[in-house]
Amino acid sequence: MASVAATALFARAIRRRGNAPLVALLALMTLALATFCATGVALRPFAKGPDEWSVVLTGATGVIAMGVQNTLMRDALSSLSPTTIMTGNLTQFTIDLVEILLPTGPDADLQKRARVRTEVAARLVKFGIPLAGFVLGATLGAMVTSSFGLWSIALPTVIVGGLTVVAWRRARMSPTVRPIAIRDT
């Protein structure tokens, strides 16, 4: 909760300065993942059991990163399907898939069926793309983690860092969204 609150206040401060928070939140997400990775790798030798201080500290940095991601998805990327509630996304995807494959009975009005089908198809895309990404990411994550341990967190850190750079460049090109100015102090 503290991580979510701090991230929400950070996004609010960015908006007050007249900037969109996406780039700043992606940068914060990159920093949180890097901290999680570094903590996990550095404290691995001390992690002798699940109750060790090193495990608790590593887990805490992971929870902080999750709080940042949740806030990022709810705040700056709210038009997308949340990536943090995959059970709900899978449930909605399955319900919509059933509706597409086995539409409402023949007694339903054809216009209503067409409208429902269009809405369902849009939701399938909205939920299906992040769901496919989640399944692929979870599979790759398991494979990479089994080989590289907590060093595996470096991969999503680099990916989010790349997304941060892409978002920053787009913000610089957009006349309606001012990027956060980086000032030398």
| DSSP-based three-state secondary structure for 80 | coil
| pLDDT tens-place string over residues 28-44 | 999 999 999 999 999 99
**pLDDT at residue 153, as a whole number:** 92
Q: List CB contacts of 20: < 8 A, sequence separation 6 or more.
A: 14, 76, 171, 177, 178
Rounded alpha-carbon distances, angstroms, from residue 1 to 71, 92, 158: 10, 26, 26
Closest CA to 23 of 75, 92, 63: 75
**pLDDT at residue 182, as a whole number:** 43
**pLDDT at residue 33, as a whole number:** 96
The secondary element (H helix, E strand) that includes residue 124 is helix 110-148
Angle at 56 between CA 38 and CA 140, to 5 degrees: 55
| pLDDT tens-place string over residues 153-183 | 998 899 999 999 999 999 888 765 444 444 4
- Per DSSP, 21 falls in state S
Distance of CA 4 to the CA centre of its chain: 13
Contact 117, 144 (CB under 8 A): no
Mean pLDDT across the chain, nearest whole number?
85
> Does the pLDDT at position 85 exceed 70?
yes
- Provide the whole-model pTM: 0.68
